[in-house]
């Protein structure tokens, strides 16, 4: 078998055979299939799709490329969450310790930024000393002692996905539903969690722009998880507007700590609690009260232990960008739209994301939001503050923002989109 024949099959809208899928995933993992060949295949999949049989086999081949973990020795039920990615989506940071504070074990294997969306590991690495890479033994120890761990997937867990995940980010193939579904579910199934809640974003700042595409992705992943014996449910959540009031690594960590301290933006709190309830229900902990655990400080206690257990200092000052640029409201009225995609692209251009898989990110780069849709604004007041260490990036970032918001006359009716739009089980 050879890579060219596999690429041609999908290029010509054919169905990949189980043998072709098994071979190409194994050969790519071993380095026999080059990045440029897998890039061509990924683009063909993006353009021509895969059927359910192909997706299931692709996912199984990704799992088979590495090891599978087992949390059977833990005294707590395991439950996990995965987001398909958005702008300002820092939910994992307060959510994992919150669910752990309610009695579950949360083995949260997270990733880095993809395109205009932020990555949980990039955010947490802005905390001095914090380590994303743990051995399996270290991961189990942190999970056992604190109830939650957020870390990178080990090299042995779905290594085919680790290579393909980075490649998709820089080849314009992030949005392919078969590749998103198999990437997420191969890691989550191999991870060995007993229950999984999927946060499938929909809107301009998500990879799924329409509710129909989000339903398709969610249904595909729920089926993959259920067929593999993992209790799986999905929430379709709004990503037309950035989540919270920040987009950027250290900025989002700071906001997450505010939520754990009993404050923070309402949309972040609402979604954190909604996902926590789903995770606890799936883990069989239906009587747990995440709202109480957030209010009484127990979730913050778990956060501090979790960060410390991975070498971080929960009391350390977070990085702050050296340069800021303020965008002011051009008129007074009601802010009726703030486009998540435009804000995400601008934050990425400021240094919060990466253009190539080997690029570093700036911990302090990103954007602060001073108003959200529905808020009344006054001409001249700050709308957005851009942060970066490299001021020459401002001009490029600003080009993403014209037309990114609308201000209607004062008194214009405004109806907010609910943060949770649908549930798929």
Same domain? 219 vs 93: yes
- Both tokens of 59, joined, read 């996912």
Same domain? 39 vs 125: no
pLDDT tens by residue, 298-326? 999 999 999 999 999 999 999 999 999 99
Whether residue 175 has pLDDT greater than 90: no
199 catalytic residue (yes or no): no
Which is catalytic among the residues 10, 57, 82, 277?
82
- Tell me the mean pLDDT in the region 260-289: 97
- Tell me the mean pLDDT in the region 60-81: 93
Instruction: Show the domain range for 31.
Output: 3-49
pLDDT tens by residue, 336-374? 999 999 999 999 999 999 876 678 899 999 999 999 999
Same domain? 217 vs 362: no
- List strand residue ranges (DSSP E) for 111-169, in order: 148-152
What b/e sequence results for 123-147 when a residue is b if at least 16 CB atoms lie within 10 Å of its CB, and e otherwise?
bbbbbeebebebeeebbbebbeebb
Same domain? 330 vs 296: no
pLDDT score, position 359: 80
Rounded distance between C-alpha atoms, residue 237 and residue 199, angstroms = 7
Same domain? 279 vs 148: yes
Which is catalytic among the residues 168, 231, 354, 393?
168
Q: 349: exposed, middle or buried (C-beta count within 10 Å: 0-12, 13-18, 19+)?
A: buried
Which is catalytic among the residues 161, 199, 238, 342?
161
Cβ–Cβ under 8 Å, residues 329 and 379? yes
Same domain? 244 vs 383: no
Rounded distance between C-alpha atoms, residue 160 and residue 183, angstroms = 9
- What is the CA angle 6-111-343, rounded to 5? 100
82 catalytic residue (yes or no): yes
- Both tokens of 375, joined, read 């808020």
162 catalytic residue (yes or no): no
Same domain? 105 vs 212: yes
pLDDT tens by residue, 370-411? 999 999 999 999 999 999 999 999 999 999 999 999 999 999
Same domain? 355 vs 225: no
pLDDT score, position 291: 97
- Choosing from 258, 282, 309, the residue where a domain stops is 309
- Tell me the mean pLDDT in the region 239-254: 98
Rounded distance between C-alpha atoms, residue 399 and residue 383, angstroms = 16
Task: Show Cβ contacts of residue 46 under 8 Å, excluding neighbours closer than 6 positions.
Answer: 172, 173, 175, 176, 179
**Rounded percentage of the chain residues whose pLDDT exceeds 70:** 99
Same domain? 302 vs 355: no
Which is catalytic among the residues 39, 83, 183, 204?
183
Same domain? 7 vs 138: no
- Tell me the mean pLDDT in the region 210-225: 95
Domain assignment present for residue 287? The answer is: yes
183 catalytic residue (yes or no): yes
Identify which has the larger pLDDT, 42 or 157: 42
Same domain? 99 vs 8: no
Domain assignment present for residue 141? The answer is: yes
Domain assignment present for residue 425? The answer is: no
- Tell me the mean pLDDT in the region 262-272: 97
Instruction: Check residue 211 and report its DSSP letter.
Output: H
pLDDT score, position 285: 97
pLDDT tens by residue, 144-174? 999 999 999 877 888 998 899 889 878 989 8
Which CATH number is 45's domain given?
1.20.970.10
Which secondary structure element, helix H or strand E, spans residue 242, and what is its range?
Answer: none
Q: What is the pTM of this model?
A: 0.90
Give long-range contacts, CB 8 A cutoff, 24+ apart: 276-279.
276/95, 276/98, 276/99, 276/102, 278/197, 278/233, 278/235, 279/79, 279/80, 279/81, 279/95, 279/99, 279/104, 279/106, 279/195, 279/197
Cβ–Cβ under 8 Å, residues 27 and 2? no
pLDDT score, position 18: 97
pLDDT score, position 165: 81
Domain assignment present for residue 420? The answer is: no
83 catalytic residue (yes or no): no
Domain total for the chain?
3
Domain assignment present for residue 130? The answer is: yes
Band of residue 189 on the pLDDT scale cut at 50, 70, 90: very high
Whether residue 249 has pLDDT greater than 80: yes
């Amino acid at each position: 078998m050879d890579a060219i024949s596999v690429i041609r099959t999908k290029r010509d809208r054919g169905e990949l055979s189980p043998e072709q899928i098994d071979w190409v995933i194994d050969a790519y993992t071993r380095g026999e299939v080059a990045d440029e060949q897998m890039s061509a295949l990924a683009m063909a999949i993006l353009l021509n799709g895969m059927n359910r049989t192909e997706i299931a086999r692709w996912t199984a081949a990704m799992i088979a490329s590495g090891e599978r973990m087992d949390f059977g020795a833990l005294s707590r039920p395991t439950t996990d969450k995965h987001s398909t990615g958005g702008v300002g989506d820092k939910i994992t940071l307060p959510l994992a310790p919150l669910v752990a504070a309610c009695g579950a074990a949360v083995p949260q294997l997270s990733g880095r930024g993809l395109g205009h969306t932020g990555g949980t590991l990039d955010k947490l690495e802005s905390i001095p000393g914090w380590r994303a890479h743990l051995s399996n033994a270290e991961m189990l120890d942190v999970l056992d002692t604190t109830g939650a761990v957020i870390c990178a997937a080990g090299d042995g867990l779905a290594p085919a996905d680790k290579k393909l995940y980075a490649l998709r980010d820089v080849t314009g193939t992030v949005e392919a539903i078969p590749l998103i579904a198999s990437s997420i579910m191969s890691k989550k199934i191999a991870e060995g969690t007993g229950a999984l809640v999927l946060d499938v974003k929909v809107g301009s700042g998500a990879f799924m722009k329409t509710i129909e595409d989000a339903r398709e992705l969610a249904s595909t992943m729920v089926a993959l998880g259920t067929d593999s014996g993992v209790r799986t449910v999905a929430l379709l959540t709004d990503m037309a507007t950035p989540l919270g009031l920040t987009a950027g690594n250290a900025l989002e960590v700071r906001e997450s700590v505010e939520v754990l301290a009993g404050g923070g933006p309402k949309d972040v709190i609402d979604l954190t609690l909604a996902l926590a309830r789903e995770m606890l229900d799936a883990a069989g902990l239906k009587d747990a009260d995440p709202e109480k655990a957030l209010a009484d400080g127990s979730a913050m206690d778990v956060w501090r232990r979790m960060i410390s257990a991975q070498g971080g200092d929960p009391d350390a000052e977070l990085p702050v960008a050296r340069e800021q640029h303020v965008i002011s409201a051009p008129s007074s009225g009601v802010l009726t739209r703030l486009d998540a995609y435009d804000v995400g692209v601008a934050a990425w251009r400021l240094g919060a994301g990466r253009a190539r898989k080997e690029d570093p990110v700036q911990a302090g780069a990103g954007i602060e939001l001073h108003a959200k849709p529905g808020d009344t604004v006054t001409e001249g007041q700050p709308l957005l503050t851009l942060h970066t260490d490299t001021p020459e990036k401002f001009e490029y970032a600003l080009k993403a923002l014209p037309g990114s918001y609308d201000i209607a006359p004062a008194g214009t009716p405004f109806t907010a989109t609910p943060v949770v739009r649908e549930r798929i089980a």
